[in-house]
Amino acid sequence: MSKFVEKAQASAEAGFTLIELMIVIAIIGILAAIAIPQYEKYIATGQGTDVAANFHSAVTAVTSAVAAAQAGQTTLLVAAPGSTTTGTTQGVLNANAADPIPGVAAPAYAFATTTGTLGTVAVTGGATAGTIAPTDTGPFTITVLLKGTTGTNATATTDAAAAIQKAFPGACIAAGSPITNPFSGSCIINVSAGGQITTQF
């Protein structure tokens, strides 16, 4: 057998060299360094979009409840957070839905009747918490605290504020002003007993 064939057989049995393994590890590391931040940004954007959708749902529910109140109906918008009630006693907005913002201490819900929890949309203003009745004089306020601090939490709250500001200019900051990252504040909409929507700025 020639020396060339023996060398080829020995090389085939040896497997990967250390250099080859290090190159593969380096490639995997580079791909991970690019992909992980993009994945985290994607998740945070989704969470921010969920908060903005919750805020929009609350505005729609309140304006509908105000119209119903003008017709003499009482509407339960939000039951007590974490309530196990169902059907009409649960309310229009699901008080059991989870708060989409990451890093909030449990239990944290998507909707509530009091403000103060990061990412929770609060509906206030009726004589009975979470309810709009024909005797209520308003205004009814929809508030979401979006004071993000670090990491994906800051990205999610900033994305939520940007989406809310786009849908309701002046709800989070003065209309026409850019949302800065990280956003630090609240987005607020007021609905009068007559159904007029106003923003905080």
3-state secondary structure of 155: helix
Q: pLDDT digit string (tens) for 34-82?
A: 888 888 888 888 888 999 999 999 999 999 999 999 999 999 888 876 6
Residue 88: name the closest of 74, 71, 104 by CA: 74
Rounded CA separation 157/13 (Å) = 56
Rounded CA separation 5/48 (Å) = 63
Rounded CA separation 179/171 (Å) = 11
**Mean pLDDT, residues 84-90:** 60
Number of domains in the chain: 1
Phi, psi of 31 (to 5 degrees): -60, -40
Question: With bands split at pLDDT 50, 70 and 90, how would you rate the model's confidence at 10?
Answer: low
Which one is predicted more confidently, 2 or 93? Answer: 93
Helix (H) or strand (E) holding 144: strand 140-145
Rounded CA separation 139/193 (Å) = 6
**Mean pLDDT, residues 130-138:** 90
Range of the domain at 9: 3-199
What global pTM score does this model have? 0.81
Predicted local confidence at residue 130, as pLDDT: 87
Helix (H) or strand (E) holding 32: helix 18-70
